Chain A
Amino acid sequence: MPTDIPSPELAYAPIAPLLIVFAAALVGVLVEAFAPRAARRTLQIAVSLVGLVAALVTTVLLAGTEELVFNDAIAVDGPTLFLQGTLAVLGIASVLLLSERSLDASGGAVVARAAVLPGSREDVELAEATEVQTEVYPLALFSLGGMMLFPASNNLLLMFVALEVLSLPLYLMAGLARRRRLLSQEAAVKYFLLGAFASAFFLYGVALVYGYAGSVDLGEVAAATGTAGSNDGLLFLGLAMLAVGLLFKVGAVPFQAWTPDVYQGSPTPVTALMAACTKISAFGALLRVLYVGFGRAEWDWSPMFWAVAILTMVVGGVLAITQTDVKRMLAYSSVAHTGFLLVGVIALSPQGLSGTLFYLFAYGFTTIAAFAVVTLVRDSSGEATHLAQWAGLGRKSPLVAATFAFLLFALAGIPLTSGFMAKFAVFTAGLEGGATALVVVGVVMSAVTAFFYARVVVLMFFSEPAADGPTVAVPSAYTAAAIALGLAVTVVLGVLPQPVLDLADRASRFVS
Chain B
Amino acid sequence: MNESYYLLLAALLFTIGGLGVLLRRNAILVFMSVELMLNSVNLTLVTFSRTVGTLEGQVMAFFVMVVAAAEVVVGLAIIMSIFRSRRSASVDDANLLKY
The reply to whether A196 and B31 form a contact with Cβ atoms under 8 Å apart is yes
> Cβ of A2 < 8 Å from any Cβ of B?
yes
> Cβ of A211 < 8 Å from any Cβ of B?
yes
The reply to whether B82 and A185 form a contact with Cβ atoms under 8 Å apart is yes
**B1-28 contact mask (Cβ, 8 Å, vs A): 1 or 0:** 0000001000000100110010000010
The reply to whether B75 and A1 form a contact with Cβ atoms under 8 Å apart is no
The reply to whether B81 and A196 form a contact with Cβ atoms under 8 Å apart is no
The reply to whether A200 and B94 form a contact with Cβ atoms under 8 Å apart is no
CB distance from A305 to the nearest CB of B (A): 22
- Taking CB atoms, residues of chain A closer than 8 Å to B99 are 322-324, 328
The reply to whether B44 and A186 form a contact with Cβ atoms under 8 Å apart is no
The reply to whether B55 and A157 form a contact with Cβ atoms under 8 Å apart is no
Q: How far apart are the CA atoms of A115 and B18 in the complex, in Å?
A: 31
The reply to whether B94 and A186 form a contact with Cβ atoms under 8 Å apart is yes
- Taking CB atoms, residues of chain A closer than 8 Å to B52 are 210-211, 214
- Taking CB atoms, residues of chain A closer than 8 Å to B55 are 1-3, 5
The reply to whether B74 and A193 form a contact with Cβ atoms under 8 Å apart is no
Chain B residue at minimum C-beta to C-beta distance from A156 = B60
> Cβ of A197 < 8 Å from any Cβ of B?
yes
Interface residues of A in 24-76 (CB under 8 A from B): none
The reply to whether A189 and B85 form a contact with Cβ atoms under 8 Å apart is no
- Taking CB atoms, residues of chain A closer than 8 Å to B44 are 204, 207-208, 211
Q: How far apart are the CA atoms of A181 and B17 in the complex, in Å?
A: 30
> Cβ of A365 < 8 Å from any Cβ of B?
no
Q: How far apart are the CA atoms of A95 and B34 in the complex, in Å?
A: 32
Q: How far apart are the CA atoms of A433 and B99 in the complex, in Å?
A: 37
The reply to whether B85 and A172 form a contact with Cβ atoms under 8 Å apart is no
Interface residues of B in 85-99 (CB under 8 A from A): 85-86, 91, 94-99
A contact residues, range:
35 or more
- Taking CB atoms, residues of chain A closer than 8 Å to B84 are 117
Taking a contact as CB atoms closer than 8 A, the residue among B64, B74, B95 that contacts A203 in the complex is B64
The reply to whether A200 and B38 form a contact with Cβ atoms under 8 Å apart is yes
The reply to whether B45 and A183 form a contact with Cβ atoms under 8 Å apart is no
- Taking CB atoms, residues of chain A closer than 8 Å to B75 are 171, 192-193, 196
CB distance from B8 to the nearest CB of A (A): 13
> Cβ of A118 < 8 Å from any Cβ of B?
yes
- Taking CB atoms, residues of chain A closer than 8 Å to B98 are 261
CB distance from A447 to the nearest CB of B (A): 24
The reply to whether B38 and A185 form a contact with Cβ atoms under 8 Å apart is no
The reply to whether B97 and A197 form a contact with Cβ atoms under 8 Å apart is no
- Taking CB atoms, residues of chain B closer than 8 Å to A192 are 74-75, 78-79
**A200-235 contact mask (Cβ, 8 Å, vs B): 1 or 0:** 110110111011001110000000000000000000
The reply to whether B37 and A204 form a contact with Cβ atoms under 8 Å apart is yes
The reply to whether B96 and A186 form a contact with Cβ atoms under 8 Å apart is yes
Q: How far apart are the CA atoms of A183 and B82 in the complex, in Å?
A: 10
CB distance from A181 to the nearest CB of B (A): 7
CB distance from A108 to the nearest CB of B (A): 19
Q: How far apart are the CA atoms of A203 and B14 in the complex, in Å?
A: 11
Q: How far apart are the CA atoms of A171 and B81 in the complex, in Å?
A: 13
Chain A residue at minimum C-beta to C-beta distance from B97 = A261
- Taking CB atoms, residues of chain A closer than 8 Å to B27 are 189, 193
Q: How far apart are the CA atoms of A210 and B58 in the complex, in Å?
A: 11
The reply to whether B54 and A168 form a contact with Cβ atoms under 8 Å apart is no
The reply to whether B45 and A207 form a contact with Cβ atoms under 8 Å apart is yes
- Taking CB atoms, residues of chain B closer than 8 Å to A207 are 41, 44-45, 48, 57, 60
Known: A1-B53, A175-B81, A186-B96. A200 touches B37 (CB 8 A): yes
Q: How far apart are the CA atoms of A181 and B38 in the complex, in Å?
A: 31
Interface residues of B in 30-49 (CB under 8 A from A): 30-31, 34, 37-38, 40-41, 44-45, 47-48
- Interface-centre pick from A186, A207, A208, A214 (highest chain B CB count, 10 A): A207
> Cβ of A387 < 8 Å from any Cβ of B?
no
CB distance from A451 to the nearest CB of B (A): 19
Chain B residue at minimum C-beta to C-beta distance from A265 = B97
Q: How far apart are the CA atoms of A182 and B87 in the complex, in Å?
A: 12
- Taking CB atoms, residues of chain B closer than 8 Å to A114 are 81
- Taking CB atoms, residues of chain B closer than 8 Å to A2 are 53-55
Q: How far apart are the CA atoms of A182 and B91 in the complex, in Å?
A: 13
Chain B interface (Cβ < 8 Å from any Cβ of A)? 7, 14, 17-18, 21, 27, 30-31, 34, 37-38, 40-41, 44-45, 47-48, 51-57, 59-60, 63-64, 67, 70-71, 74-75, 77-79, 81-82, 84-86, 91, 94-99
5 A-B pairs (CB sep. < 8 Å): A5-B59, A181-B85, A189-B79, A196-B34, A211-B48
Q: Apart from A172-B74, A190-B94, A203-B38, what 17 extra A-B contacts exist at CB < 8 Å?
A: A160-B63, A160-B67, A171-B74, A171-B75, A172-B77, A181-B85, A183-B96, A189-B91, A192-B74, A193-B21, A197-B37, A200-B41, A204-B14, A204-B44, A208-B44, A214-B52, A328-B99
